[in-house]
Amino acid sequence: MHAELNAQELGHIFNQLAPTKEQREIISDFLKIRNDSAIRYNARLESLKKTLVEIPHHEEFLKNLHSIPIDTKVSDTLAKYILQNPRPHIGLPIPSIFENANTVMGRRTIRADTPYFLRKPFGYVFSDSIVIDDMTFIKERP
């Protein structure tokens, strides 16, 4: 929600304050869709604000740019999934959506009874199950 409102406010800056070409490029880069965590988004926003203070009459616009609230619960950004019926899939590559430290000979491969972690930005609602190809991953309850 905050990211969308910030994008609208940055659009107003484009239309009403006539930033320089370099400033427009910095704003455009900030507006590119990324899968940032709230912490990373807020850091990028603070960096952008430093650029915006160079634009005359920026004060009202900066007041309307807001950081994403950070909930300190890890469970809000990380979900743990277990592969249902892993036997036929052992040795296959772990789907790229998962973060996993488990590797075998430098390869990230499916292993029996291994949790697979999915990280998403704050506020993301994790599915109870994820199906990738013919593999079904079930979300573990905290």
> Is the model's pTM score more than 0.85?
no
Over the range 23-48, which residues count as b (16 or more CB within 10 Å of their CB) and which as e? beebbeebeeeeebbbeebbeebeeb
DSSP label of 104: B
The edge-to-edge listing of strands for the beta sheet with 135-139 is: 115-119, 78-84, 135-139, 129-132
What does the longest C-alpha to C-alpha distance in the chain come to?
63
Confidence of residue 21 (pLDDT cuts 50, 70, 90): very high
Confidence of residue 75 (pLDDT cuts 50, 70, 90): very low
Q: How much is the mean pLDDT over the chain?
A: 81
Q: Which residue has the higher pLDDT, 108 or 62?
A: 62
Helix, strand or coil, per DSSP, at residue 128: coil
Strands 115-119 and 78-84: antiparallel
d(CA 54, CA 112): 56
